[in-house]
């Protein structure tokens, strides 16, 4: 009987530690999402400014393409992070 309680206690401690780890990881991922979102918004603003200018030269066009590529990358990154957070929240809910 005492062994059963010890096993249960161990499982509870492991679950609590896992919950703590997942919570910390979720917070880190949320901060990462916020940073990625801020970078994406900045890149989108820069892209809009670059696109709004008339008669830009080849260098500006390259800049706009680079910014557009960065926006796409940041959006993909944000979606990946969002998926990871959703998985972590799902794990937390199962605990």
Q: How do the domains of the chain map onto residue ranges? A: 2-94
User: Around 63, how many Cα atoms within 13 Å sit in the side-chain half-sphere?
Assistant: 15
pTM value > 0.75: no
pLDDT of residue 20: 92
Tens of pLDDT, residues 42-74:
888 888 877 666 555 667 778 888 888 988 998
Q: Which two tokens stand for residue 52?
A: 């709004």
pLDDT of residue 56: 58
State the chain's mean pLDDT as an integer: 84
pLDDT of residue 24: 92
CB 84 within 8 A of CB 33: no
CA distance 66 to 50: 11
pLDDT of residue 31: 93
């Amino acid at each position: 009987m005492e062994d059963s309680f010890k096993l249960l206690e161990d499982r509870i401690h492991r679950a609590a530690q896992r919950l703590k780890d997942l919570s910390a990881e979720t917070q880190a991922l949320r901060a990462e999402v916020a940073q990625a979102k801020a970078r994406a918004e900045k890149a989108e603003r820069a892209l809009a400014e670059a696109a709004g200018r008339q008669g830009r030269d080849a260098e500006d066009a390259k800049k706009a393409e680079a910014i557009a590529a960065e926006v796409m990358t940041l959006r993909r990154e944000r979606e990946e992070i969002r998926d990871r957070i959703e998985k972590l929240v799902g794990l937390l809910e199962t605990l």
